[in-house]
Structure formats: C-alpha cells, structure tokens
Amino acid sequence: HYSFFPGTPRWPPNRRSLTYAFLPENQLSDSVKTIFARAFSRWSAVTQMNFTQTESYSSADIKIAFVTGEHGDGEPFDGVLGTLAHAFSPPSGFFHLDGDENWVIEGDTSSLTTMSAVDLESVAVHEIGHLLGLGHSSVEESIMFPTISSGTRKVDLASDDIEGIQTLY
Ligand code: TQI
Ligand code: ZN
Ligand code: ZN
C-alpha cells in the first residue's frame, strides 16, 4: 500500500502547475531531457498537476541536478550503485541524481551490457513520486516500492501509485 511522508506534505492547491529545470553545468542532451519529460507526464496523466521545463534553474519549483559525492545537503552520494538518486518532499523540489551511476536511457544500446546499468526513466518516475509527496509502497509492482531488481525497467504507474497520488492531488 502507498504511504505519505510524515505530516503529509504536498504542493498546495494553488500550485497545480510546477516548473522544473536542469542544472546548466550538467549540459544534458535532448534525449536525456526527453526522459525526464516522459517521467513527469506519467504523473500528470493521472492528476491535475502539470509540469513544464524552464531555463531558469534558480526560480524553478523542481531543480534537477546530476551531482557526485558530497554535494552540500548532508546526503552524499556513494559512487557506482548504492544510492542512485534522492528527492525531497514538497515543497522542497530538490531532485539529485548520482552522477557516478551508469545511467541508461531506453533505446541506448551502447550501455546495455554494463552490469551496473541503471535505467534513468525508472528512477526519475520514482523520485518524482517523492517530490510530489509519496513515500514508499509495500506493493512490489508499485513504482514507489523501495527496491528494484538490477537491470529492471519499471516506468508504468501501478494502481497503488495512482490511488496514492490521487489522494494527494
Ligand atoms: N534512493 C532512495 C529512494 O529514493 C532514497 C531514500 C531512502 C528515501 N530512504 C528513503 C527516499 C525514504 C524517501 C524516503 O528511495 S535510491 C530506487 C528503487 C532509489 C531506489 O537511490 O535507493 C529508485 C532511487 F526503488 F529502485 F530501489 C530510485 Cl527507483
Ligand atoms: Zn542531494
Ligand atoms: Zn524511494
């Protein structure tokens, strides 16, 4: 079953349109940005929330950054595997991904052979759930289940995820 963070933090009712931005220094390719757009659209499809990319990192509601090791929030990343990413509960909007991971995107055949490959869209859909206020779920098929078998791609919301997010928004 789905869960929320303590106190059930959520984006307020007058914030149904949120902006997101990528850390400019990361210089992400369009195909990587498209993965994030798809991940956001999975949540906007089942709620009244919508998400648009903005070029202004400092003013964006959701700030997406690939960072490594200690990066200033007291939750350092740990190199390959282990912690892959983290996101903070509303209305923080910080979404950090471990730049040391071997991130793969769908259709990118060059990196599929790496044992430590991590599917970017799967992690993005999960972390956006946290950014919107979902905690972990006990339902294994759920996007918000706390573990994923390595090499697995899980990007479709389960009914448990949809019930959880529709309770918030
Ligand atoms: N990062 C953890 C996560 O997002 C961070 C975390 C640990 C956390 N405990 C928490 C976040 C409690 C909120 C509340 O869950 S992770 C997966 C999965 C991670 C793991 O790098 O371990 C995904 C990130 F589910 F696959 F194991 C994304 Cl999809
Ligand atoms: Zn961080
Ligand atoms: Zn999680």
Task: Show the domains of the chain with their CATH numbers.
Answer: 17-168 (3.40.390.10)
What is the predicted pLDDT for the residue at 92? 93
Structure tokens at 114: 């790496």
Active site residues: 127
> Are 82 and 97 a contacting pair, CB within 8 Å?
no
20-66 pLDDT, tens digit per residue, is 999 999 999 999 999 999 999 999 999 999 999 999 999 999 999 99
55 alpha-carbon distance from chain centroid: 19
> Are 23 and 62 a contacting pair, CB within 8 Å?
no
Residue 123 CB less than 6 A away from ligand 1: yes
Q: Is the pTM of this model over 0.90?
A: yes
Which residue's alpha carbon is nearest to atom 28 within ligand 1?
Answer: 123
Q: Which atom of ligand 1 is nearest to the CA of 84?
A: 21
Residues, CB within 5 angstroms of ligand 2 (ion): 73, 75, 96
- pLDDT of 149 > 90? The answer is no
Residue 122 CB less than 6 A away from ligand 1: yes
